[in-house]
Amino acid sequence: MDKPVLVVKGVGKDIGKKTILGSIDLQLRSGQSLALCGGNGVGKSTLLRMIAGITRPTRGSIALGGIQWADNRRRYADQLGYMPDDYLFGQGLSAEETLSFWASLRKVSQARVSETLELVGLSEVRRNPVTSFSKGMRQRLLFAQALLAKPALLLMDEPTNGLDPYWMDSFAELVRFAKGEGHAVLFSTHQLQIAEATADHVVFLKDGGIAEQGTTASILERYGPYGLQTVFSRLFGGSQPGQARVP
């Protein structure tokens, strides 16, 4: 079996005297997807930012393609495409100009810019200012920049948060496409139907650690047809936080 693209071993994060994450272990291989689930404030974004190299873990190690961030930041970053939960786009820039700027940083051709805009459904509005875009369109552009350099790992923080059913469907299709192209995909979400439709593996975080995990199929087998919703309800109480129609 191929070696994992991503290895997270004993990773934790403290802020002052507060432990945000205790000790997290994860592995992800090429062509696989993993969804981080859980309530607000459980550390999903913190874990993603540590994997992205934005913030440093208090303990543990993170290796991407066998490389740790501290050993070779450039080679680490070259393997990563990161989609934040939000982004303040430059005033007056079009979608094409914005993506071309990112392409210059990643040494990606203009042809790839056009290809990626087409892939995420923004080709027809590529010359429109990003400030005129809806939330869903901005999310698609953020997805495009993450996918632009064909990274080994596609890392996304709440990519479907607050979006309409069209983007939910599009996101599910794009994740499947990325997996088919050999990308490893790791994303956080509170939309449990999205996790069920797109993730091979699901991890629920709670109280600074992993409260439940497994393949999506094994969780459905253990908990029944409403597996992810049942897990969420048992861990956090009440009904699960969001539904979305997916293909």
Give the model confidence (pLDDT) of 26-40 as tens digits: 999 999 999 999 988
pTM of the model: 0.91
* Cα(104)–Cα(10) distance, integer angstroms: 35
Is residue 34 within 8 Å of residue 202, measured between CB atoms? yes
Q: Cβ contacts of residue 104 below 8 Å, gap of 6+?
A: none
With a pLDDT cut of 90, the percent of the chain lying above it is 72
In a 13 Å sphere around the CA of 30, the CA atoms on its Cβ side amount to: 10
Class of residue 80 by CB neighbours under 10 A (exposed 0-12, middle 13-18, buried 19+): buried
Q: Which pairing describes strands 6-15 and 18-28: parallel, antiparallel, or unpaired?
A: antiparallel
Q: Which pairing describes strands 33-37 and 18-28: parallel, antiparallel, or unpaired?
A: unpaired
**Residue where the block lists tokens 């449990």:** 192
Class of residue 70 by CB neighbours under 10 A (exposed 0-12, middle 13-18, buried 19+): exposed
Q: Report the pLDDT averaged over residues 200-221.
A: 94
Class of residue 40 by CB neighbours under 10 A (exposed 0-12, middle 13-18, buried 19+): exposed
pLDDT surpassing 60 at residue 245:
no
Q: Report the pLDDT averaged over residues 152-177.
A: 86
In a 13 Å sphere around the CA of 198, the CA atoms on its Cβ side amount to: 34
* Cα(197)–Cα(203) distance, integer angstroms: 15
1-79+152-247: what fold? Answer: Rossmann fold (3.40.50)
In degrees rounded to 5, what are phi and psi of residue 246? -130, 155
Domain definitions of the chain by residue range:
1-79+152-247, 87-150
Q: Report the pLDDT averaged over residues 127-154.
A: 93
> What pLDDT shows up at residue 105?
92
Q: Where does the pLDDT of residue 1 fall: very low under 50, low under 70, confident under 90, or very high at 90 and above?
A: low
Q: How many angstroms from the chain centroid is the CA of residue 95?
A: 21
